[in-house]
Amino acid sequence: MYSTKQKSIIMEILKENKERLLSPDEILDILKLKDESCSKATLYRFLDNLALTKEVRKCYNQDTNRFEYQLAMGDCSRHLHLKCKKCGLVIHLDCHDTEEFLHHISEEHGFLIDNYESTIYGLCPKCR
Amino acid sequence: MYSTKQKSIIMEILKENKERLLSPDEILDILKLKDESCSKATLYRFLDNLALTKEVRKCYNQDTNRFEYQLAMGDCSRHLHLKCKKCGLVIHLDCHDTEEFLHHISEEHGFLIDNYESTIYGLCPKCR
DNA sequence: TTGATTGCAAACAATTTGCAATACT
DNA sequence: AGTATTGCAAATTGTTTGCAATCAA
């Protein structure tokens, strides 16, 4: 994996926005603001690579009908998050809480839980 | 809202499969099996209507990159479900459990939860 | 130099839309 | 009759792909 200008700028942007989910178009807009550029193809390819290696989480946003990406912190295959409908802030839920809850549910329904990756919508403390 | 052949057949199919999520293409396949037909445009339009009136749930399936639809039972804006990766069975989670869990989380993070509609993947009792 | 990466434009796939023809009440 | 609904084909949108040119090692 060669390191290139495009890749490092995309990573930079992801890091600067690690508390939010970014769509490819948002990333391109930020690139433009920085007077940098990168083709859509390269962006999509790199984001998909990062998702494959679990360096970013790739989530589908049902409201905008697009994928959004966010720098992964820790294990991201078992994951619940709260997303603020207003400001886009994403709060990652503590694994303890969710694991306990899911364990309970798993027992009750005889379900072997593999992975989860879910978003619960609402308003964050600031926006409510 | 006129009642038409197409609408009633689509409803019939949704009712016959109320335990599963169906993609538009799956619905068209079932239509073909029944020797009936309906254009894609009509199907999409009708499904969107049903989603708008909350008669069906409209969920995005990240694996296939398509929307899937399922006859709604009760309130469907606050909803968690377990989906079997193997057979596609969907188990709807009892509101009590989830509401309690979410209340807890909401308190902890000062988050005002609006709606949720999430899928947790795994293996059902039969397939595990 | 060699293989990875890029940008472009074309290809794709799911979904939506405009519009004239048709079906419902 | 008058409006809602349909089917078709074209348009749209987000994403992917083929390929020649370019870049990193």
Q: Is the pLDDT of residue A49 over 90?
A: yes
- Does residue A53 sit in the same domain as residue A39? yes
The answer to the question of residue A128 being in a domain is no
Q: Which pTM value belongs to this model?
A: 0.75
What is the mean pLDDT for each group of 10 consecutive residues in chain B (128 residues)? 95 93 96 95 97 89 86 68 76 72 80 73 80
More confident residue, A49 or A113: A49
- Does residue A60 sit in the same domain as residue A83? no
Coil/strand/helix, residue A78: strand
Q: What is the CATH number of the domain that holds B8?
A: 1.10.10.10
CA distance B5 to chain A (A): 30
Q: What is the CATH number of the domain that holds B88?
A: 3.30.1490.190
Number of domains in chain B: 2
Quote the pLDDT of residue A34: 95
Query: Which secondary-structure segment (H or E) carries A79?
Result: strand A78-84
Q: pLDDT tens-digit profile of A19-33?
A: 888 999 999 999 999
CB contact under 8 A, A109 and B119: no
The stretches of B20-69 forming alpha helices (DSSP H) are 24-33, 40-52
Quote the pLDDT of residue B8: 97
- Does residue B58 sit in the same domain as residue B10? yes
- Does residue A10 sit in the same domain as residue A64? yes
- Does residue B100 sit in the same domain as residue B48? no
Q: Is the pLDDT of residue A98 over 60?
A: yes
Residue A40: nearest nucleotide (C-alpha to C1'): C7
Distance A54 CA to D22 C1' (A): 29
Distance B20 CA to D21 C1' (A): 49
Quote the pLDDT of residue B94: 63
Exposure of B75 by Cβ count < 10 A (0-12 exposed, 13-18 middle, 19+ buried)? exposed
Q: What does residue B98 show for φ and ψ, rounded to 5 degrees?
A: -70, -40
The whole domain housing A41 covers 4-71
Quote the pLDDT of residue A76: 52
Quote the pLDDT of residue A48: 96
Determine which of A3-7, A18-22, A62-66, A81-85 has the lowest per-residue pLDDT on average. Answer: A81-85
Quote the pLDDT of residue B25: 96
What are the Cα distances from residue B41, in Å, to A67, B14, B26, B104? 24, 17, 15, 43
What are the Cα distances from residue B55, in Å, to A68, B67, B93? 28, 15, 18
| Tokens 């969907």 found at | B90
